[in-house]
Amino acid sequence: MLVFDLSLMRAVHVFITKVTQDFVYVTSAADGAPYAPAGSEPGSHHGLPVSRVRIPPTVAQDFSRYNPVREFVAPRLASLNYYGDHIVSLELQHFDLEAQCFAPPESWQGMYESRINTLGALIGSHTAYINGLEIIWQDERDDGEGYALGGSGRLSLVPVRGVRLDHLATTARQRYFAKMVSRRMTGARGAGARRRSAGAPASERATQVSAIEAEVVPLEHGRVLAYTAAPGITVFSPLLQRSKSEIAGGNPASGTDQVKAVFALSSGDDPCYPNIEFVLHAARTVGALYGHEAADFLDIPRVIEQTGEVNLKSIARSSRLSVPVAHLPMLDCLAWVFGHVHRERDLDAQRALSRMFRFILRQGMVRASQVAAPRRAGAEDAALPMVRYQARPVAA
C-alpha cells in the first residue's frame, strides 16, 4: 500500500484543446509558457502546436462524466491535478454565470487545490493511504473497531473515512447531475428525478461554486475489507460501495452492495467461488503489470482442460459469470490480490489493482447455491460443474 503524503498534491494550470482516452492536448501553461512534462508527445490540433500529455484512462472517463464536451474550438483553461508525478484528475474552468465571464487565469483556483489544506486538517495525525482511486484513513471517531469474517481472523470489515480523487476536483452539482445522467442512460430515473433535473443543461448549472464549497471536502464514511497478512501487516481494500447504482453486471453473488458481497465470502453454508470472468480479468491485469508468470496462481491450463475451451473468451459472458472455478478458493484469491496491493509502490498500478478488487466483488464470484442445478451428480467441489455452458456465436 502507499502511505498518503499531502505534500505530493499539486495542481498545474494549462490551456487544453482536447481530451482523449489516453491524452490531454495542452497548448501552453496558464502563463503562456510551453508545457511539456516528461513522457509527453509533440503534436498539433486545429493548427495549434500541442503537447500530448498522457493521462490514465480512468482520469479521462471521470472527466467525461462531469464534462460533456471533450474538444474545444479555442483553448480552455484547465487544471492538471497531480499526486507526485501522477495525474489523478483533470479539472476544467467553467464559465462564471454570476460574473458573466471566465475568471482570469492568474486568479482562478480549481477545486482540487483549494481543498488540499482542508483535507490535511481532516486527516490530522492519522495515517492515510492512497490507492489511485481514493484516499482512506481510520478515525477513532468512527463507530466500531471492525468485524471479523470467517474463522481465520485474517479478514475483517473496518470503518474508515475517505474521499474519492475524482470528487476532490468536482462540485456537488457536477456530481449530482452526472448521477442523473447515469440514471437516465440506464433507465433508473423516476418522475421526481426528471422534474428536478429539468431546465438548463448540466454543464451550465454546475458552474456556481460558493467560497464555502470550494473548501469543503466531499468526505465519505464507509468500510473497507482489511487483510492481516502477518502481525503488524494489514492491507486495505478500496472503499466498499453500497449504492445499488454502483453494482454493475447483474451478478447475483454481489447482492445489493459490496458489503453484503464481503459477508458472502465468509459464508460456510453457501460458499463463494471465483468465476471464469475473474480468471480472465485477473490474468489480464496482473499479467500486464508483472508479466504472465505472475498469473500462474490462477492455473489457467487447468481451467482450459476442464472447460475444453482453449480460448476462454469464446465462452459467452453470461456463462463466464456463472461458471465457478472451484479449484481456486475465493479467500486464497483475495489473499493473492492483497499480496500485490501490499507490495506495489506505483500509483498507476495501485489504481489497476483497486479496480480489479472491485471487479471481484461486482462480477468476479458466484455462490455455490447458484450453480447447484448444473452440477454433475456426485461431482467433487474441485471439479467444474460443466454440464452445459453457452459459447459465443461465431461470426460467419
Q: Specify if 10 maps to a domain.
A: no
Q: Do 257 and 363 sit in the same domain of this protein?
A: yes
pTM over 0.85: no
- Centroid of chain to Cα 376: 38
CA distance 260 to 248: 15
Look at residue 338 and give its three-state secondary structure. Answer: helix
CA distance 51 to 261: 44
> Which of 208, 240, 272 delimits the end of a domain?
240
Q: Do 262 and 357 sit in the same domain of this protein?
A: yes
Q: Do 150 and 259 sit in the same domain of this protein?
A: no
Tell me what the pLDDT averaged over the chain comes to: 81
Q: For 133-147, how does the pLDDT look when each residue is reduced to its tens digit (9 = 90+)?
A: 999 998 776 555 567
Q: For 103-124, how does the pLDDT look when each residue is reduced to its tens digit (9 = 90+)?
A: 888 889 999 999 999 999 999 9
Q: Do 297 and 233 sit in the same domain of this protein?
A: no
Q: Specify if 154 maps to a domain.
A: yes
Grid cell 468512527 is found at 142
Q: Specify if 198 maps to a domain.
A: no
What number is the average pLDDT over the span 305-333? Answer: 88
> Residue 48 pairs with which residues in a beta bridge?
45
Q: Which cell numbers in the block locate residue 107?
A: 486568479
CA distance 347 to 341: 10
Q: Which among 333, 330, 396, 339 is positioned nearest to 367, based on CA atoms? A: 330
Q: Do 226 and 307 sit in the same domain of this protein?
A: no
Q: Specify if 131 maps to a domain.
A: yes
- Tell me the helices (H) and strands (E) count for the chain, helix number first: 13, 15
Answer whether 105's CB lies under 8 Å from 127's CB: no
Look at residue 305 and give its three-state secondary structure. Answer: helix
Q: Do 298 and 354 sit in the same domain of this protein?
A: yes
> Residue 130 pairs with which residues in a beta bridge?
2, 135
Q: Do 223 and 259 sit in the same domain of this protein?
A: no
Residue 20, number of CB atoms within 10 A of its CB: 13
The answer on pLDDT for 21 being more than 80 is: yes
Number of domains in the chain: 2
Q: Output phi, psi for 360, to 5 deg.
A: -60, -45
Q: Do 156 and 261 sit in the same domain of this protein?
A: no
Q: Specify if 67 maps to a domain.
A: no
Q: Do 223 and 303 sit in the same domain of this protein?
A: no
Q: Do 295 and 358 sit in the same domain of this protein?
A: yes
CA distance 267 to 287: 30
Q: Specify if 364 maps to a domain.
A: yes
* pLDDT for the residue numbered 253: 40
Q: Specify if 53 maps to a domain.
A: no
CA distance 118 to 42: 37
Q: Do 223 and 325 sit in the same domain of this protein?
A: no
Q: Specify if 36 maps to a domain.
A: no
Q: For 333-362, how does the pLDDT look when each residue is reduced to its tens digit (9 = 90+)?
A: 999 999 999 999 999 999 999 999 999 988
Q: Do 256 and 236 sit in the same domain of this protein?
A: no
| Residue ranges making up the domain that contains 272 | 252-371
The answer on pLDDT for 244 being more than 80 is: no
CA distance 277 to 323: 9
